[in-house]
Amino acid sequence: MTRFIVLLRGINVNGRSLPMAALRQAARDNGFPNCATYIQSGNLILSADGDAAGVEAAIESLIEATFGMKVEAIARSGADYARIAATNPFPEALPKYLHLGLTKRPLKADAAEALLEKAKHDERIVAAGGGLWIDFAGGVGDSKLTPAAMDKAAGSTLTARNWNTVQKLLGMVED
């Protein structure tokens, strides 16, 4: 079995509540052993056979069947996630402002350039390692880089986690 990190899009924000303890139990009950979650924003670590696309589909189906919610899942094997994280182009950035965005389908080649047109407050954006790296140097709160703008530029659903969360998930998947 392979260890996967599964990032759920839009969980426990704007009234979309999915308790992580219930998610862990549902995953275990449906054949995903060794489940763990990190904080309440939809970060799931599990063991599974197959590939990332199969894990995404299974988790999306499980959440819809169990909780009645349509949620998009983006999965990477622990090895793939570590490889992507190793390409961090902004190691000097403040961890809470540096975000790694992962997409459901391959990232469009011009995604970073398209988002740079909307950037402000010295935001830096680079595509590297199969991820979209954004340094929200002036803070995330008033950025023009909305989820819709990121999805459009990326050519696919994108969800992002800050560098602190990326590091924590790496540690958890290695345990």
Q: Out of 79, 111, 131, pick the residue that ends a domain.
A: 79
Q: Out of 79, 97, 118, pick the residue that ends a domain.
A: 79
Domain count for the chain, please give it. Answer: 2
Digitized pLDDT (tens) for each residue of the chain, 175 residues in all: 999 999 999 887 777 889 999 999 999 999 998 999 999 889 999 999 999 999 999 999 999 999 999 999 999 999 999 999 999 999 999 999 999 999 999 999 999 999 999 998 789 999 999 999 999 997 888 888 999 999 999 999 999 999 999 999 999 998 7
Q: Which domain holds residue 126?
A: 86-174
Provide the token pair at 144: 């023009």
Alpha helices in 68-162 (DSSP H): 78-85, 111-116, 147-154
Q: Are residues 162 and 129 in the same domain?
A: yes
- CA distances (Å), origin 147, targets 37, 134, 142: 23, 13, 13
- CA distances (Å), origin 127, targets 62, 84, 96, 123, 135: 31, 10, 19, 14, 12
In this prediction the pTM is 0.95
Q: Residues of 10-21 as b/e, b for ≥16 C-beta within 10 angstroms?
A: bbeeeeeebebe
